[in-house]
Amino acid sequence: MEFKSVQLNYFDTPGLEQRKGGFKSSHWGIINEVDFALVVLDSNKRFDDNIKVTIERLDARRKDEESPMLKALVLNKIDLMTSKSRFSSLISQIERHGKFDRIFYTSAETDYGIKDLEDYLVSMAPKDEWKYPP
C-alpha cells in the first residue's frame, strides 16, 4: 500500500487461532519476519485463549534482544461497545498478558480513530527503498 510517500506492507494473518498441537505455523513464520505487528481486535468479542496466547507470543518476540518488534493494538468497533465495565475488563485482561507500544480505539464504520492510526503507521514505516514496486 502506498500512503504519503511511504510503503506499508501488510501481511494479514486472520484468526491466529490455536489448533491441535499449537498455532498454525505459517502465521508465526510471517510474524517472525516483520518489524512491527498491528493486532486488530473486535472490542465486542470476549477475551479468549486465542487472544491471550497471541498477545503473550507477540510480547515474547517484542522482548527478543536480537530482533525486537514493536506492536500496536487496535480495538475496533468501539462504537458498538455499550458497557464501560466490560470494556475496562477487556483492557485489563489484555494488559495482563502483554505490552503494546500504542493502543488505538477505532470504528471502521464511523472512521473514529482511523486518521490517528494512519498517521502512526506512516510514522512507523521505514524510510528505506520500497520492497515492492508501486
Judge whether 133 lies within some domain.
no
Beta strand 22-23 with 18-19: parallel, antiparallel or unpaired?
A: antiparallel
Domain extent for 110: 2-124
Q: How many structural domains compose the chain?
A: 1
Coil, helix or strand at residue 122: helix
Contact 71, 40 (CB under 8 A): no
pLDDT tens-place string over residues 22-50: 545 556 666 667 778 888 999 988 888 88
Judge whether 96 lies within some domain.
yes
Judge whether 134 lies within some domain.
no
pLDDT tens-place string over residues 73-103: 999 999 998 888 888 999 999 999 988 889 9
Res 113: pLDDT: 96
64-67 own/partner pairs: CB under 8 Å, 24+ apart: 67/32
CATH number of the domain that 106 lies in? 3.40.50.300
Assess whether pLDDT exceeds 80 at residue 69: no
Judge whether 130 lies within some domain.
no
Length of the chain: 134
In this structure, which amino acid lies at residue 53?
V
Half-sphere exposure of 67 (CA within 13 A, CB side): 9
Q: Band the pLDDT of 14: cuts 50, 70, 90.
A: low
Judge whether 131 lies within some domain.
no
Mean pLDDT estimate for the chain: 79
Judge whether 78 lies within some domain.
yes
Contacts of 106 (CB under 8 A, 6+ apart): 74, 75, 76, 78, 112, 113, 114, 117
Query: Please, is 100 exposed, middle or buried when counting C-beta atoms within 10 Å of its C-beta (0-12, 13-18, 19+)?
Result: buried
Percent of the chain having pLDDT more than 90? 23
